[in-house]
Structure 1
Amino acid sequence: MKKQVLSFLLLLSFVFSVSAQKAQTQKTDASERNLRTQVEYLASKKLEGRRTGETGATFAAGYIANLFANYKLKAGFSSVTGGKTNANFMQTFPFVTGVEMAETGNTFSLEVTKADGQKLTFTDKPAFKPVAFSPNAEIGNTEVVFVGYGIASDELKYDDYKNLNINGRIVVAFDGMPESDSPHSRFARFNQHAKALIAKEKGAIGLLLISRVANLENDRLAGLKYDQMLGEAALPTIIVSRKTGADILGTDEAGLKSEEEKLIALTKGAIGGTSSNKPLDSRAVASFKINLIKKQADAYNVVGILEGTDATLKNEAIIIGAHYDHLGRGGSGSLAVNSKEIHYGADDNASGVSAMLELARQFSREKKNKRTIIFIAFGGEEEGLLGSKFYINNPAFPISKTVAMINLDMVGRLKDEKLTIGGIGTASELKSLVETINPRSSVEATVGEDNIKVKTAVEEAFKREGFREIKVEVKDNKVILNGIVGKGLVVKAVNAASEAAKLPIKVQIYESQNVNPTSAEIAARVPFFLSLNEDGFGPSDHSSFYSKQIPVLFFFTGTHTDYHKPTDTAEKINYQGLLKITNYVSEIVKAIDGNPAKPTYAVAKSSGTTGGRMGFNVSLGTIPNYADNNNDGLLLDGVRDDSPAAKAGLKAGDKVVKLAGRDVRNATDYTFVLGEMKAGVEYEIEIVRGAERLTLKIVPAARK
């Protein structure tokens, strides 16, 4: 084979005058300082993790509002008091921070008749506590039936209710699972809500859960920690102490532990019946009252408006948004089990807020936008997109005139220039737009008659490095590679290509000798390796807008081991990368703004990645509304195109009230039932649509 020497030329030249270069450096430094300052404040101890409804989140909202005012943005809202109009950047929406036991109306009594006829009465108040998700109720003297762990599943061939008559009775079950609490356990989906739903289906009228810890006060369920997304349980539910549980079973705490160990042992082998079916050595009768009061707090969106300069286009708006809330000191949503440390949320999502604020500063200073730009910091995202759901129903600017929504969520950990953009299928122009604006370097090689072979070898080499967005073209006997990330990767990939093609390839890197560019300037010229996703739905605020048929773009640098943990801190943010993303988004917004034609809405291809907090074997293609907490069904924000839900005839606005023969009151019931369904099997789904109640047929698809 004829040997050839290929010269690869990496073009990283910068044509700046000395004064222009200095001005650009000063601008870059100022912007990066702003980003750092804002992230460090939002992710500081003072704000204590910015949990919605808590003081830290209110401080964060006020901080953002003050910056909007400094940037001379127009407040999104106004109110009239005493004939005077008051502008307000803050949009208030209601939020339930928790529940508490009312001073009266919470009682529990237990009467146990032993086998020898002896009667014992227990009314010790510390021995019980209603759980936060229990409905209020009053139940008179009712027989209590022990049901092991309270689990029944045809799929697992496991039934704690086998041969038991519990109709009209209260059931008592061990809390937790008969295996470890691993999320990968076959029993993982049988949480307290699932146990209440199963008990109701079996005919029970109340559920008692036996605590897993010796001191009831230390039980996580006794803390009345409220999670709005979970909704109410299907039955009145109380957590009782282990001593009370032992009393119900007619034994002591050692005997209770022995019974628990027997149940666990039975699950080690073949799944089947449990010892819960054995008659108790005593008869227990309980009565109780539950009277919980929901604690309300104000939560906030922060909205600033920069009016457009074009007489016509200013009547249309582009939204740039980012959620500012996080997880406070852990609890629901935290991946640091039982941690009460501050979850700082630097990447999630102080990074996105800082980028949004820097864009607000830049656009308000330039004042060249033709369309109106609305900057929104959303509250309640971690609680189920509450803030963005509230905004789309109570907008500062007509939703029908909103042409695009840009969402920045977790953009602070740029690594290897890899950036994910969602929503590129929500308008026909968006894919081309984000690719065209992506900064480009190129490598070029003259290869003669073997160019096709070299093209293939180089392309495969870059794919092996994990960069599948590389473009390799052949033109005029040259192989041209667009999208190279830098010297190190070029050398590595080209050496691999040389070996694969059995051709010697000489790598030559040329940089301009006219200037001495800073590392930030070099980084700014290096292109992103874009991972593009068409879907407009997803687990962040852009989903709310796409449900209203608004084109969206969602920017994300990827998850990491600090996600939803106290270790997501400000010093781990890649501020240079954050600035680069901010500038990239700025150019995209300018391109949308400068085009007289608005983006053309399109139904995007589904990624199939949304639909709940846990994985399932099947998918229906529904988009639940987690902000709806009426506990009268699951409200749908939409359905995915060509999904089982779409084929069944479901629509946005439908409320699912029954699925596969089981009642659905909220998202928690729905996800449990979904976990019990099988792909390819036809089920009935009952919905409420307006004043109608409809029964449809649906066939779940296997989850990819």
Structure 2
Amino acid sequence: MRITIFFIAICLLASCKTDLKNLEPVKGNMKADVVYLASDDLQGRETGTSYELQAADYIAKRMKESGLEPKGNAGTYFQTFSFKPSSDPHQEAAFTDEKGDAFLTGTNVLGYIDNGAAQTVVIGAHYDHLGMGGEGSLHREGEAVHNGADDNASGVAVMLDLAYELKTSEKKGNNYLFMAFSGEEMGLLGSNYFTKNPTIALDSITYMINMDMVGRLNEEKTLAVYGTGTSPRWNQIINAVNKDFNLALNESGVGPSDHTSFYLNDIPVLHFFTGQHEDYHKPGDDADKLNYEGMQQISDYILRITAEFDNAGKLAFRKTKNESEEVPRFKVGLGVVPDYLFTGKGMRIDGISEEKPAQKAGLMKGDIVVKLGDSTIVDMMSYMRTLATFDNGDKTKVTVDRDGKMVEKEIEF
């Protein structure tokens, strides 16, 4: 039987009669949170399904355990929104008040720590995923459960860990709104809807922190932090409190995750990300592949950042360049997965696609492309600009750094 949002809301509304201010917060277990959210029983948490609602119910209960107040609609932890999915990937889905088979309902989950402060920090992570596959999946062998352990049960688990830590913290200079977003995989729908229908005043939000795919910290401990240019105060603090990571910093406030919705409303943002991998948007993104020690280090790092801004007043906002608008159009592809966390010179290959130019030329995972044709490759952008100059059927030379040795191969696109 389909679980209705009304039933869940009524049940949780009744349970919230407990005095949350006197509730002793319960510290959770990030691995347990991921194992539950990424279990086969939840069938990939696709937006608008009963499985997503089961996940929403779990997250709301965990928020309550940490002593968070409900901050959704009608005194519940839930904020629902209806929309008509778009079949055009370049067109946004439209929100609507209509009901029917042509429409879906997403459910944001919101919990609040009211410290009586003037400013509120939003800490969020999307919890929806791809269900059994479909559009967005990179799996080509029929339907299968896409559990989404890294994407993004990992971010939700870190968010819930931060909820407990900040509820029990002695630092009370900000309020905190924790949000598990629905509809991210369909186009940042939940975060977009919230910024258009906020349950707190948008102008009270001092900054927003987003975690999306933070479960696979690599051996180099490279952590990507996006949005560092959205406030003039970010860079100094995120570097000063860093104890564990090789940081890959990016200034832009625009990216393919929920922080973008807040940046577009002139709110400083930070987005944390441990990198893409071969299980991205595939059934193999399972709980046993996550680096839970790394997730704890990320949670502790974010906690140190929030502590630095506890009595800092409202952060100044700064617009950044939209780097996604500068990405050139490609007529050909090399057939590799770039390592987006690589901070050295060149473009490091993180994966090779079967029967594509890179594999046929003998390139390997870990190779660092330092020259393509006549162009020197110094970073990801120079690689993309150079690749965009080639047409189908072109031949050229590619030079890679393979374990310190320069190797030259011939590529045919």
- How far off is 1:229 after superposition? 4.0
Q: Does residue 90 in structure 1 map to residue 78 in structure 2?
A: yes
Corresponding position of 1:423: 227
Question: Matches of 1:59 and 1:74 in 2, distance apart?
Answer: 20
Residues 1:559 and 2:272 are matched in the alignment = no
Q: Distance in 1 between matches of 2:300 and 2:288?
A: 21
Give the Cα–Cα distance (whole angstroms) in 2 for the partners of residues 565 and 412 of structure 1.
Answer: 15
Contact 1:48 1:342 in 2 (8 A): yes
The aligned runs of 1:501-580 (5 Å cut-off) are 527-580=244-297
Quick check: 1:315 aligned with 2:303? Answer: no
CA distance in 1, matches of 2:307, 2:181: 23
Change (3 A) 1:228 1:70: farther
Is 1:306 equivalent to 2:136 in the alignment? no
Pick one of 400, 403, 411 that aligns with 2:203: 400
Does the aligned pair in 2 maintain the 1:331–1:338 contact within 8 Å?
Answer: no
Aligned length, in residue pairs: 300
Give the structure 2 partner of residue 70 of structure 1: 65
Could you say which residue in structure 2 is the equivalent of 1:373?
176
User: Using the alignment, how far apart are the partners of 2:155 and 2:247 within structure 1?
Assistant: 18
Provide Cα deviations, 1:435-463, integer angstroms capped at 9, x if missing partner.
00001xxxxxxxxxxxxxxxxxxxxxxxx
Measure the CA separation in 1 of the matches of 2:72 and 2:209: 21
The answer to whether the 8 A contact 1:537-1:610 is kept is: no
SS in 2 for 1:599: coil
Question: Which of 146, 160, 164 is matched with 1:357 structurally?
Answer: 160
Residue aligning to 2:317: 601
Q: What's 2:376 paired with?
A: none
Identity of matched residues, %: 40
- For 2:60 and 2:324, how far apart are their aligned partners in 1? 36
- Distance (whole Å) between structure 1 residues aligned to residue 239 and residue 200 of structure 2: 30
Q: Secondary structure at the match of 1:88?
A: coil
Equivalent residue letter for 2:83: F
1:340: Cα distance to partner? 0.5
Unmatched runs of 5 consecutive residues or more in structure 1: 1-29, 80-86, 98-225, 233-292, 440-526, 619-677, 680-704
Contact (CA 8 Å) 2:115, 2:173: kept in 1 or not?
Answer: yes
Specify the code of the residue in structure 2 equivalent to 1:571.
Answer: D
Q: Residue 421 of structure 1 aligns to which amino acid in structure 2?
A: V
Identify which of 147, 154, 159 aligns with 1:344: 147
Q: Quick one: which of 42, 47, 51 aligns to 1:52?
A: 47
Q: Distance in 1 between matches of 2:170 and 2:81?
A: 31
Which one has a larger percent strand, Structure 1 or Structure 2?
1
RMSD: 2.3
Distance 1:371 1:610, change over 3 A: farther
Give per-residue Cα distances to partners, 1:531-577, cap 9 Å, x unaligned. Answer: 00000000000000000110000000000000000000000000000
Q: Name the CA distance, whole Å, in 2 between partners of 1:436 and 1:43.
A: 34
Question: 1:366 aligns to what SS in structure 2?
Answer: coil
Amino acid in structure 1 at the alignment position of 2:180: A
Match of 1:286 in 2: none
Residue 369 of structure 1 contacts residue 590 of structure 1 at CA under 8 Å; is this kept in 2? Answer: no
1:34 counterpart = 2:33: no
Q: List per-residue Cα deviations over 1:317-368 (Å, max 9, x = no partner).
A: 1100000000000000000125310001000000000000110111112353
Q: SS of the residue aligned with 1:377?
A: strand
Code of the aligned partner of 1:590: A
Counterpart residue identity of residue 48, structure 2: G
Task: Please name the residue that 1:589 is paired with.
Answer: 306
TM-score normalized with structure 1 length: 0.41
Larger RCO, structures 1/2 (Cα 8 Å, 6+ apart): 1
Amino acid aligned to 1:578? M
Asked if the contact 2:224/2:274 (under 8 Å) is kept, the reply is yes
- Which residue does the alignment assign to 1:662? none
Tell whether the 8 Å contact from 2:255 to 2:324 is kept in structure 1 after alignment. Answer: no
Give the match's secondary structure for 2:168. Answer: helix
Look up the SS of the partner of 2:200 in the other structure.
Answer: coil
- Deviations 1:575-619, CA, capped at 9 Å, x for gaps: 000000011011111212232x322111223433788xxx7259x
Q: Where does residue 690 of structure 1 map in the other structure?
A: none
